[in-house]
Amino acid sequence: MFAWLANAWRVPELRKRLLFTAMILALYRLGSWIPAPGVDSEAIDQYLSSTGGIFNLLNLFSGGALSQFSLFALGIMPYVTASIILQLMTVVIPRLSELQKEGESGTAKINQYTRYLTVVLSAAQALGYAFLFKNQGILEANAGRMVLIIVTLTVGSVLLMWMGEQITKRGIGNGISILIFASILTGLPLGVTAWWNGGPMERIFFPLIGIAIVAAVVFVQEGQRKIPIQYAKRMVGRRMTSGGSTYLPLRVNMAGVIPVIFAAAILAFPPTVASYFPQTQDFINTYFQPGDWLYLTIEGVMIIVFTFFYTAVQFNPVDQADNLRKHGGYIPGIRPGPPTAQYLDRVLTRLTLPGSLFLAAVAVAPSLFIRYGGFSQANARALGGTSVLIAVGVALDTMRQMESQMMMRNYEGFLR
């Protein structure tokens, strides 16, 4: 592994991308400690610590910036929520569906709409937090100061969106996922401290369970079924192409960690709405906390639904069958055309179901460890759920991108 990393550092283009990503992450962490103007960070941190619940999850995705009520307090979740809304609207609005099929120009238009919606959602969430903290008496600000705070948080969220896009374009990996990955890693020292201060049984079993969960996540994320593809001989111009055989890889979890991020973003929306209504806020604090069965059930169902939805967006069996037929390919024993599409759809459904159930099970694992296993909250958050799924998934995707860069330059890869 160290030899592979040394080879990666010797590649000038890859080295520039790594340094650029590191620079953006350093700026992100710096902005997470710059408080919004006129804010008492200690009072807000004490309030969030005493409230706990879903605010701990929101603070996790912001890398601790919410507890500081800093420039990046909203994190990248408004952009993720906007992406979810646009993808759902693409299915029901014909105009957006047509844009999606237009290639790069249509994708650029949809991305532009996503940015506009991100600004709206960021402003609404910043307004909700400002009203919540003002109603709780921990934020003393007049109308002018409130406007300044809302604008500051909105600009911070938009800046994070831009930073994520720059990482995707000029760095390594998916920028949005990398920012969430960095936010989750900031909670690792707290988890290690909680493990060290835990009881004897917790010290023994916590590392073992953690290794088992990471191994299971890697096993499912990398699991795939290879569909054999046979190509017949055919004439292309004046040349006869020789037939051959290959395979079509269908992953068990083709959606990756996107369903978990989507579910977390949607579940973070009710507290924002409830902050405008005190009675609703009391209901959220009482019945809609991450450890409650209602929250866990909704989270699990949403992860399963989003897994099927995003898999359908990523892989269209009809289009794949048409492409195979146009290039003279077929699945042995399956007729080309609609029978091939039906076969691929059936196989994909059978693969996606256990993958979605696995994602849902790992996502709710921390709360079950807290409730029945006697683990502390810091340990359980570091052990499983969204943190492990996102961290491992993003790490694997980033390694694949670096792997492709290395293979292009005839270096032996790390993933074998």
Report the alpha-carbon distance of residue 99 to residue 108 in Å, rounded.
9
Query: Is the backbone of residue 223 left (phi > 0), alpha (psi -120 to 50) or beta?
Result: beta
**What residues pair up with 236 in beta bridges, in sequence order?**
239
Residue 36 identity:
A
Question: What's the pLDDT tens digit per position in 16-58?
Answer: 888 899 999 999 988 888 888 877 778 887 777 776 566 776 7
1-5, 119-123, 159-163, 386-390, range with the lowest pLDDT = 1-5
Banded pLDDT at 291 (limits 50, 70, 90): low
Banded pLDDT at 379 (limits 50, 70, 90): low
Query: Is the backbone of residue 40 left (phi > 0), alpha (psi -120 to 50) or beta?
Result: beta
Question: What's the pLDDT tens digit per position in 323-347?
Answer: 888 877 888 888 888 888 899 889 9
Asked if residue 159 has pLDDT above 90, the reply is yes
Q: Which CATH architecture has domain 1-186?
A: Orthogonal Bundle (1.10)
**What residues pair up with 329 in beta bridges, in sequence order?**
231
Strand 244-251: give its sheet, edge to edge.
244-251, 224-231, 329-330
The two tokens of residue 390 are 């996102």
Estimate to the nearest angstrom the gap between the alpha carbon of 84 and the chain centroid. 11
The two tokens of residue 175 are 């920028």
| 400/345: higher pLDDT | 345
**Closest Cα partner for 397 from 148, 104, 177?**
177
- Residue ranges of the chain assigned to CATH 1.10.3370.10: 1-186, 189-384
Other Cβ atoms less than 10 A from the Cβ of 92: the count is 8
The two tokens of residue 33 are 């400690």
The DSSP letter of residue 1 is: -
Q: What is the CATH number of domain 189-384?
A: 1.10.3370.10
Give the ranges where 101-174 is alpha helix by DSSP (H). Answer: 104-135, 143-170
